[in-house]
């Protein structure tokens, strides 16, 4: 999840071109039409998305996602249309809370919000704390609400907090977010105070194994990733990451060597749908636009009419380069070719990447388009079933089994 770090700043920087680029995106959207078979498979197979940012979205601006909503990427009717069975709702803690304090309180508030959602609509949702819960809820026709904590700041250096949040339903923890914290260095942070994981972070990974909380390696630095997979006795997940092959120099994504280490660990990468995670042009767009606009302001004066005219021209002629469904499929193809289909899953980052989602996968109603794309590229129904949820369930079950024995 990029939050205001990337997605929002892209949109702020290019407000003038948003309408034009979105119009183009809408025109392209019409080319995607899932077949009846793809729709049926999306509904038949267990569909788990490990990263959806509803909790923080509705904290910022409350919305009842148990019914159709005007805003956002997720609501119950659209999720049912898409075949979604088990969204992992992100208990997102901004990196600033590492210094400001208050992260434990925020985490509890966001968890409370998800429990309240289930309480308001018990005919639609049910909390899910285990792999068995996920499968039982599907049998009952209920959408599971599972919980993952994005940013381990609320652990606050105390393993008792890990146990407390496990009891509250947290089933994975992203060790850091956009800045390094007391657990791990961040891929976004030029400071590498720990050269990977902190001494406490290494203890935390071992304790997460024992408690039954999946270790999420999204967001952390390369060194931290390698240390985490070495230390962990069970498979890890990258809950919402994509591939550095298609975004050179973007450490937030995973390199081929990291994918190979993930495979040795028997883990899974849950592909992120944000355009800046998927395509080099989109990934570099913000910096490119910022440089061009800054140069104009410097040459003509920030508030001059000439600068405003030239900036408007730049924005109009450089719409945001949305990725497409095909780009997502390229990432999936590469993982399959490199380490095998058993290591691929879905971690969309819906409600977390602003208006940067790819053409063909704009919200939770669009999962059948992904299934159609996989069918078109020759994936078997068994492989599609694995990607949609069974690979993640394999990892989660391995974590549960290890914890039960310790």
Domains and CATH numbers, the chain: 3-404 (3.20.20.140)
CA nearest neighbour of 3 among 356, 364, 354, 357: 354
For the stretch 33-80, pLDDT in tens is 999 999 999 999 999 999 999 999 999 899 999 999 999 999 999 999
CA nearest neighbour of 205 among 177, 185, 232, 236: 232
pLDDT beyond 70 at 11: no
For the stretch 289-316, pLDDT in tens is 788 988 889 888 988 998 898 889 888 8
| The pLDDT of residue 298 | 86
What does the block give as tokens for 268?
Answer: 């899974």
What does the block give as tokens for 332?
Answer: 């999936």
For the stretch 170-182, pLDDT in tens is 999 999 999 999 9
């Amino acid at each position: 999840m990029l939050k205001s770090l990337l997605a929002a700043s892209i949109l702020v920087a290019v407000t003038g071109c948003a309408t034009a680029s979105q119009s183009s995106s809408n025109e392209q959207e019409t080319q995607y039409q899932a077949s009846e078979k793809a729709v049926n498979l999306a509904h038949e197979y267990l569909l788990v998305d490990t990263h959806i940012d509803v909790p923080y979205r509705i904290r910022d601006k409350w919305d009842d996602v148990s019914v159709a909503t005007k805003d956002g990427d997720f609501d119950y009717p659209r999720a049912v249309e898409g075949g979604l069975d088990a969204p992992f709702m992100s208990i997102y803690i901004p990196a600033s809370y590492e210094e400001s304090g208050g992260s434990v309180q925020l985490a509890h508030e966001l968890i409370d919000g998800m429990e309240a959602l289930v309480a308001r609509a018990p005919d639609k949702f049910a909390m899910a704390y285990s792999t068995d819960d996920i499968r039982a809820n599907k049998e009952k026709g209920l959408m599971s609400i599972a919980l993952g904590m994005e940013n381990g700041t609320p652990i606050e250096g105390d393993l008792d907090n890990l146990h407390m949040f496990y009891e509250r339903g947290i089933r994975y923890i992203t060790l850091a977010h956009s800045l390094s914290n007391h657990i791990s260095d961040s891929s976004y942070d030029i400071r590498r105070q720990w050269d990977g994981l902190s001494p406490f972070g290494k203890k935390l990974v071992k304790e997460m194994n024992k408690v039954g909380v999946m270790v999420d390696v999204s967001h952390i630095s390369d060194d931290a990733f390698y240390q985490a997979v070495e230390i962990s006795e069970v498979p890890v997940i990258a809950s919402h990451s994509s591939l550095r092959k298609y975004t050179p120099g973007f450490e937030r994504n995973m390199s081929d060597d990291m994918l190979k280490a993930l495979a040795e660990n028997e883990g899974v990468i849950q592909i992120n749908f944000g355009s800046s995670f998927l395509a080099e042009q989109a990934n570099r767009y913000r910096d490119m636009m910022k440089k061009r606009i800054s140069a104009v302001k410097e040459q003509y004066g920030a508030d001059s009419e000439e600068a405003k005219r030239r900036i408007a021209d730049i924005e109009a002629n450089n719409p945001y380069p949305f990725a497409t469904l095909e780009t997502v499929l390229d990432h999936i193809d590469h993982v399959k070719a490199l380490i095998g289909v058993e290591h691929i899953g879905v971690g969309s980052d819906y409600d977390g990447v602003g208006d940067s989602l790819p053409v063909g996968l704009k919200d939770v109603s669009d999962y059948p388009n992904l299934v159609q794309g996989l069918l078109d590229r020759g994936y078997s129904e068994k492989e599609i079933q694995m990607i949609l949820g069974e690979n993640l369930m394999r990892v989660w079950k391995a974590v549960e089994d290890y914890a039960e024995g310790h």
